[in-house]
Structure 1
Amino acid sequence: MKIKLFYDGALVDVEFPEGVVLLEPKSPAILSDHQVRANLIRAFNDSPVSFSGKKITLVVNDATRRLPTWKILEILTELIPASSIDVLVATGTHRAPSDSELDMIFGPTRRAFDGRIFIHDCRDESNLTHLGYTSRGTPVDVNKRLARAECLVCINSVEPHFFAGFTGGRKSLVPGLAGFTTTVLNHSYAKYEEAKSLNLDTNPVHCDLMEAVRLLDKTPIFSIQLVTSCDGGIAGVFCGELETSFQQGVACARRVYTVAIENKYDIVFAVGEPPLDMNLYQLQKAQEHGAEAVADDGILVVVGACSEGTGSDYFIKLADDYPTPNSALAPNAMSDNRFGIHKLIKTARRLRKIKIRYVTKIDDKIVRKVYYEPGKSLQATLDEAIAQKGHGARIAILRDACLIVPVV
């Protein structure tokens, strides 16, 4: 049976055997524009945060999140004059958004913020302020505009995240507006097995982030946390205090982004979709989620063109020091806090139980360097997997695998 898989900006036909299973969560109810508007206005009017006479600092996601930020901005600028708002784009360690990506983020509201949109640069130390340290010793350095804000409004998306548990909430401030050193130290906890999708309570990355954000305790924050469907519709909007609205968003995201499975599969295709298929750094999210559905000795096929390449050279270069999966599981790797080491360690852990193939446009040598086996094409990789596992192999497809998490 032919099934269309997203790859390199197009839907590609792949011939799967009969009986292939599509792992898809139930479609959530989508809020109408009227409902989104009513929820936001009600929460704004009920908020204890005083906006009157204050310069507002608005924090928005960059282009690596699938979020209709502009829809919220259209409502927000009716409640707060755009002239009293400065906007910080929370890029974390990502590159700055392009001009077309800024159009996508701001939509028709972009002109209203002309001259007041500031792109965070985590490596510009002259634009950072030190707030203190977390109990784990992470130095908390943040954008000066964030530290000096009289009042903060944050627009976030809440989705599963492969080592922070969930995106959203605290993440747009730290690491979104943090210095590079802060992010490196926080992300060093991603090496631990508790740092995984859906887990918050015992997740060292999340716990460290929460401590970091609490150092901004004197800054009034009005939080807008959105949960979107795979099609981009808004399934939930939660507003108010940062931690409370984030936890409400998490509860909704667990329903929207998880799919229950009774058994694991011999072959799983984990398909990354825009914008998280843009590079290898982001695509590993599909690997970590797809692997949850693969039986021991099974084959995981991760699909994403990675049109922007690796997205980060850090973990690619680290593979020079850790050339094999076994070397990435050695004690010295766990004590190595260099940026990106968690990617090698997580992949090495997966390879103890399953085989991993990547279908991308990236050079095969680079793919192999970070422990993956390159696939020639979608169809060829499927055919090879069936040849290895047999024609009776149980096969599943996980679409939007950077966000959807199978749960046994």
Structure 2
Amino acid sequence: MKHFEFEYGFGTLGADLPDDTDEFIPGITVKDPDYIPEDKLEEAYKESLANPIGMPTLTELAHKGSTVTFIVPDRVKGGEQATSHRKLSIKYMLEELYAAGVESKDVMFIISNGLHRRSKESDARAIFGDEIFNKFWHTGQIISHDSEDKDHMVDLGYTKRGDPVAISKYVYDCDIPILIGHVQGNPYGGYSGGYKHSATGITNWRCIGSHHVPSVMHRPDFTPVNNGSLMRHKFDEISMHMEEKMGHPFFCCDAVLDSVSRQIAIFSGYAKIMMPESWKVADKRTYVHWAEKKYDVLVFGMPQNFHYGEGMGTNPIMFMQALSAQVLRFKRVMSDKCVILCSSTCNGYFHDELWPYLRELYEMFQTDNMNILPDLNRYGEYFATNEEYIRKYRFCNAFHPFHGFSMMSCGHIAEMNTSAIYMIGAQEPGYARSMGLKTRATFEEALEDAKKKFVGTNPNILALPLTFKRSAVHLCMKDPSLDEMDEYGHHIGDNR
């Protein structure tokens, strides 16, 4: 037997699995592409900014009197080290802007949290670092996006497809809007950064509600994750509509990151042209052609605190989203009868301060007429217009109430694509059972049960330690011919 330790609460839970169990850890099992050494980062940024793809340089765009708004991702991804992409890209772009005559009083920073919790002072300091924080925070030039601040949102009408579009007034009114993004594999419609950033980070729930819903997320083109889905097309259409209404494009500076958020490559310029170029590099880290067989059992662990925050691994709606995100990433290597074994303390901790509406959403799911998670979708507007939940989003650093519906929509994907999901070590197992999961005390018990009921006596097993601790990959079959291709030339696997 092979011994593994999988994430569990704030520690780990052990598992003894058969000797032929395979293991995959992002960036370790298959090495990431080489990252840019720290002493070469300044050169790389300045080279990229001096040669933007598809548009003029910042020096050519800016002049004395130009107003500039930096659109900066929140803490969900991207790293916070001194050499993080956010910190360095801002530093070198400010140098260019100042050289062109832009004054610091005309620079604004908006943390593009979208429907995520609005950033606190401590978050802003971690994102920007002391130097930028101390210069701009106390003058009110660093703010966190408030999608419910009606005085500072601009209605841009509808895309040609009919999707509503709104944008932050701070972005709409400025002369030079700068998008800072991370080109990392995302379970929602392909890569982060570029047009995904603007279509989700600086708009409102009605715009996001045009794509983070079952009618888009449960289509056959959504799973496994790829850049050719309807969701991805909507991101592009919404952001290009923003550019059309602003009268100029975003200036983008995106970094392809490795599994511990170090820069592999830097890309600057016009997102429409730049994104596909950045994806060519990102594909080498993200779409990992490694598996030589399909797997009947995936095994991993869920910490209590990751990605969206404390309690994600114990809140029932949130742990369903986390399970489904793994299905989206690994569907290409999952057999048709695949089961998941996942450890979680499942201790009943909802973290009501962060997600004040999810307990109500969960309790509604336990009532009649609620058989699958998408049955809750019809209450999206009811929650999204709840004044108390909106007040908590605006003033108490809670997630926006509609955010729960993207989590809920995603959460159903695990049920759609597995034979069963076992939650291991649940302290209050009723929460797992009420979400349609099976419960067992140990991995070994769960595996034996799965063998009897779903996968047979000799299943192919894939262990995934650290799956929520390192930036994920989209695992593919080793033989690329087994994968279908999307319109961008990416391997998307079997989407049926």
TM-score by length of 2: 0.71
Asked whether 1:237 is paired with 2:255, we answer: no
| Alpha-carbon distance in structure 2 between the residues aligned to 1:197 and 1:349 | 12
Q: Distance in 1 between matches of 2:257 and 2:8?
A: 22
8 Å contact from structure 1 (residues 160, 197) kept in 2: no
Match of 1:31 in 2: 36
The 3 A distance-change label for structure 1 pair 308 and 237 is farther
**Which residue is 1:174 aligned to?**
199
How far apart, CA to CA, are the structure 2 residues paired with 1:258 and 1:168?
17
Q: How far is 1:395 from its partner?
A: 1.5
- Alignment match of 2:45 (pick from 40, 47, 52): 40
Which residue does 1:62 correspond to in 2?
74
**Aligned to 1:289, what secondary structure does the other structure show?**
helix
User: What is the letter of the counterpart of residue 44 of structure 2?
Assistant: N
Deviation at 1:120, TM superposition (A): 0.9
Of residues 54-63 and 33-42 in structure 1, the stretch that sits farther from structure 2 once superposed is 33-42
SS at match of 1:173: helix
Change in Cα spacing, 1:145 to 1:323, as seen in structure 2 (3 Å) is same
CA distance in 2, matches of 1:271, 1:83: 47
1:298 maps to which of 338, 342, 347: 338
Matching residue of 2:93: 76
2:432 to 359, 367, 379: 367
Contact 1:198 1:254 in 2 (8 A): no
**Preserved CA contact (<8 Å) 2:451 2:459:** yes
* C-alpha separation in 2, matches of 1:139 and 1:231: 36
CA RMSD in angstroms comes to 3.3
Deviation for aligned residue 1:157: 0.9
Alignment of 1:326-341 (within 5 A): 328=374, 339-340=405-406
| Deviation of the 1:386 alpha carbon | 6.2
Greater shift after overlay, 234-243 or 333-342? 333-342
Cα deviation for residue 368 of structure 1 reads 3.4
CA distance in 1, matches of 2:307, 2:333: 20
- Is the contact between residue 55 and residue 84 of structure 1 (CA under 8 Å) also seen in structure 2? yes
User: Which amino acid in structure 1 is aligned with residue 76 of structure 2?
Assistant: T
Q: For structure 2, list consecutive stretches of 5 or more residues without a partner in the other structure.
A: 99-103, 313-317, 382-404, 478-496
* CA shift in 2, pair 1:172/1:79, >3 Å: same
For the residues of structure 2 that align with 1:360 and 1:111, how far apart are their CA atoms? 45
Change (3 A) 1:220 1:211: closer
Change (3 A) 1:249 1:163: same
Are residues 361 and 333 of structure 1, via their aligned partners in 2, closer, same or farther at CA, if it must alter by over 3 Å? closer
Q: Distance in 1 between matches of 2:415 and 2:11?
A: 31
- Helix, strand or coil: the match of 2:154? strand
- Residue pairs, 1:2-13, within 5 angstroms: 2-10=3-11, 12-13=13-14
In structure 2, the partner of 1:266 is 296
Matched, 1:89 2:77: no
TM-superposition CA deviations, 1:196-225 (whole Å, max 9, x none) = 454223x11111121111122323422111
Equivalenced residue count is: 401
Instruction: Report the Cα distance in structure 2 between the residues aligned to 1:155 and 1:323, rounded to whole angstroms.
Output: 40
Distance 1:196 1:266, change over 3 A: closer
C-alpha contact (below 8 Å) 2:68/2:176 kept by paired residues: yes
The equivalent of 2:487 in structure 1 is none
- Cα offset, 1:183, TM superposition: 0.7
Structure 1 segment 241-390 matched on structure 2, within 5 A: 241-260=270-289, 261-271=291-301, 275-276=306-307, 278=309, 279=312, 280=318, 283=322, 284-302=324-342, 309=351, 311=355, 313=358, 316=362, 319=365, 320=367, 323-325=370-372, 328=374, 339-340=405-406, 342-351=409-418, 354-358=419-423, 364-374=429-439, 376=441, 381=446, 385=450, 389=455
Q: Secondary structure, in 3 states, of the residue corresponding to 2:129?
A: helix
| 1:404 counterpart letter in structure 2 | V
**What amino acid is aligned across from residue 218 of structure 2 in structure 1?**
K
Unpaired runs of 5+ residues, structure 1, are none
Q: Would the aligned equivalents of 1:36 and 1:237 in 2 still touch at CA under 8 Å? A: no
Q: Distance in 2 between matches of 1:317 and 1:123?
A: 26
Distance 1:44 1:131, change over 3 A: same
Contact 1:270 1:286 in 2 (8 A): no
- State the distance in 1 between where 2:424 and 2:115 align: 25
| Alpha-carbon spacing, 1:163–1:10, altered in 2? closer, same or farther (3 Å) | same
Q: Could you tell me which amino acid in structure 1 is paired with residue 78 of structure 2?
A: R
Q: Equivalent residue of 2:209, what SS?
A: helix
Q: Name the structure 2 match of 1:213.
A: 239
- Report the CA distance between 1:241 and its aligned residue: 1.2
| C-alpha distance 183-14 of structure 1, shift in aligned 2 (>3 A) | same
The AA in structure 1 aligned to 2:122 is S
Q: Displacement of 1:159 after TM fit? A: 2.0
Instruction: Provide the residue aligned with 1:199 in structure 2.
Output: 226
How many percent identity over aligned positions? 16
Over alpha carbons, which structure has the higher Rg?
2
Q: Distance in 1 between matches of 2:162 and 2:425?
A: 38
Distance in 2 separating the partners of 1:190 and 1:397: 27
Q: Secondary structure in 2 aligned to 1:57?
A: strand
1:153 Cα deviation after fit: 1.4
Residue 183 to residue 366, structure 1, CA distance change in 2 (3 Å):
farther
- For residues 213 and 264 of structure 1, do their structure 2 counterparts lie closer, same or farther at Cα, with a shift above 3 Å needed? same
Shift of 1:101: 2.8
Report if aligned partners of 1:267, 1:395 keep a CA contact under 8 Å in 2. Answer: yes
Q: CA deviation at 1:287?
A: 3.7
Q: Distance in 1 between matches of 2:292 and 2:153?
A: 48
Do 1:287 and 1:302's aligned partners in 2 also have CA atoms closer than 8 Å? no
Cα distance 1:238–1:196, how it changes in 2: closer, same or farther (>3 A)? farther
Deviation at 1:156, TM superposition (A): 0.7
Instruction: State whether structure 2 residue 451 is matched by structure 1 residue 404.
Output: no
Deviates more, 1:262-271 or 1:170-179: 262-271
Give the counterpart letter for 1:78 in structure 2. Answer: E
